[in-house]
Chain A
Amino acid sequence: MSSAVSRIPFKPQPSVIPGFGITLGLSLFWLCLIVLVPLAGLFLKSAALGWDGFWATVLTPRVLAALRLSFGASLIAAAINAVFGLLVAWVLVRYDFPGRRIVDALIDIPFALPTAIAGIALTTLWAENGWLGSIVASYGIKVSFTPLGVVFALVFIGLPFVVRTVQPVLQDFDREVEEAAESLGATPWQTFTKVIWPSIMPATLTGFALAFARALGEYGSVIFIAGNLPMVSEIAPLLIVIKLEEFSYGGAAAIAAVMLMASFILLLAINALQRWAERREKRR
């Protein structure tokens, strides 16, 4: 991609295969129509509020509380996913046990199950009279309709991101390096921290960032379990919906612009992480 001489975008190198102009042209047209123009419209709308109007909308206690909950719960959920996702990926790649293939297939359920369905299922499950909720309730822990419920829903939807990012790297990991470390007298813990972890760390971080990004914007699975109390368990995407229902288009656009900027920064970070991981992979 580094043809530094010709900096003209979309300029093809000569090829005998036909159809470059038409396929690229139509793709770009469709991309602009469905994705880029609508997104640009959103930024225009929030810009129309003006600098002061924008911050007056965003810096209200209710919006700040929602943003804090969204970022905080997403961060905690992504951290839980990083730990357990790594553990699950490890177990799936390294160990054989009855039902392993079924567990492997189950990992993708949060990708495929509609979020609203996940939402009502998790809410019922963790409600005080639910299958699992009644167990933790006897220890005085409430999940459904609390911020903890938000975290639980975000753990559900984020898990596959970590597992599916770490799994292939762990699978390609050269076992001989590990065996060499062991035969040189390293303890299992040393082997893991000094030999295995450095090579799967970039993938784990990427998975963490992907899970965080997904959790930040999540709506369907959260709104049922959250209880949606203003200032307590109201997530930022829900506040966007509330602003829209109040016909405050500018307010909705302002919150959305903040969320989008965060998503784009995360997207850049994820791309950088993936390039870093690839470079490390090549060096071995």
Chain B
Amino acid sequence: MAGGAIAGTRDATRRIERPGAAIWRWSLISIALVFIGGFILVPLVMVFVEAFRQGWAAYIRALTDPDALSAIWLTLTIALLVVPLNLIFGLLASWAIAKFEFTGKSFLITLIDLPFSVSPVISGLVFVLLFGLQGWFGPWLRDHDLKIIFALPGIVLATTFVTFPFVARELIPIMQEQGTTEEEAAISLGASGWQTFWRVTLPNVKWALLYGVLLSNARAMGEFGAVSVVSGHVRGLTNTMPLHVEILYNEYNFVAAFAVSSLLALLAIVTLAAKTALEWKLAQAVRPDKD
């Protein structure tokens, strides 16, 4: 997730163009627009068009269906449990990695990024192998009447695995860039470790932290593969919003499927809008003198 580019200064227009360059330019722009339009914009717009195909009443009915409401509620619960865990881990890991020098650091960063390169299905599978009925701890869990797989704890574990790197990888680069001089100054002036963290480090990284939280929230609410493996798809009990969408779609209840989808698509749009705003803010903070 390489941070999106902040618009730089555009000097293309100021240069004298060779003949024929305009034709090149406009054909390349057209190809890019057709490609982005067909592959990204049209599918996104279609979610909303399909959701409102039968009007507002059908849309509202799909969202207030008891199964839909319980899916929305479960999704919110999971995000509320998982995002704080990621937040705490991200702060701990980035403090250790950015503020200290030690051997094995780049290896540790690779390990933190590991869940990004694991298929969502495998992210769910590993927990089924541990806690499923035939898993390592399956018999013990059954004897003690504990349920992890096909229940909330399994969904939370799988979601935590999938969103594991999100906050840490936003924080580590920016904290490394800022270095340790400000913290060292605070400590040598008599501040405690906590005071230094709250008053010096946290204010410096707050926007990156917020961005990491937004991303991990979007992924936690939208995760499908991993959750689908551990959830058991019990309607009204272990169905998250994406799983509910799948069930509705497979029942050919397209309007309801797209209605629930539209909420998640809206979340994605809001997340990206916030990201763009945050990047703009960061750019302003870095070079306040430029335009």
Contact = CB atoms under 8 A, between A and B. Distances in A.
Nearest to A249: B134
B171 to A, nearest CB: 12
Nearest to B270: A112
Interface in A98-123: 101, 103-118, 120-122
B1 A164 contact: yes
A94 B161 CA distance: 39
B121 A13 contact: no
B283 interface: no
B92 A117 contact: no
Interface residues of B, number: 109
Contacts of B183: 17
A115 B225 contact: yes
A26 interface: yes
Interface string A259-283: 1100110110001000000000000
Contacts of A219: 119-121, 224-225, 228
Interface in A1-52: 1, 3, 6-13, 15-20, 23-24, 26-28, 30-31, 34-39, 41-42, 45
A165 B2 contact: yes
B122 A260 contact: yes
Contacts of A110: 40
B285 interface: no
Contact of A237 (B106, B221, B225, B275): B225
Nearest to A39: B126
Contacts of A104: 4-5, 7
Consensus secondary structure, chain B interface: helix
Interface string B216-227: 001001111100
Interface of A: 1, 3, 6-13, 15-20, 23-24, 26-28, 30-31, 34-39, 41-42, 45, 84, 87-88, 90-97, 101, 103-118, 120-122, 124-125, 131-132, 152, 155-156, 159, 164-165, 167-168, 171, 175, 179, 182, 188, 213, 216-220, 224, 237-238, 240-241, 244, 247, 249, 252-253, 256, 259-260, 263-264, 266-267, 271
B1 A111 contact: yes
A95 B21 CA distance: 11
Given A105-B276, A164-B4, A11 B103 contact: yes
Contact of B119 (A11, A95, A216): A216
Given A35-B111, A42-B125, A96 B261 contact: no
A218 to B, nearest CB: 7
Contacts of B130: 37-38, 41
B65 interface: no
Contact of A159 (B39, B126, B225): B39
Given A17-B99, A95-B29, A125-B42, A217 B89 contact: no
A10 B249 contact: no
A199 to B, nearest CB: 16
25 contacts: A10-B108, A12-B102, A24-B96, A35-B164, A38-B130, A39-B126, A41-B126, A91-B28, A112-B215, A112-B269, A112-B271, A114-B223, A114-B224, A114-B241, A114-B268, A118-B43, A120-B261, A168-B2, A188-B21, A216-B119, A217-B118, A219-B120, A237-B121, A249-B132, A263-B117
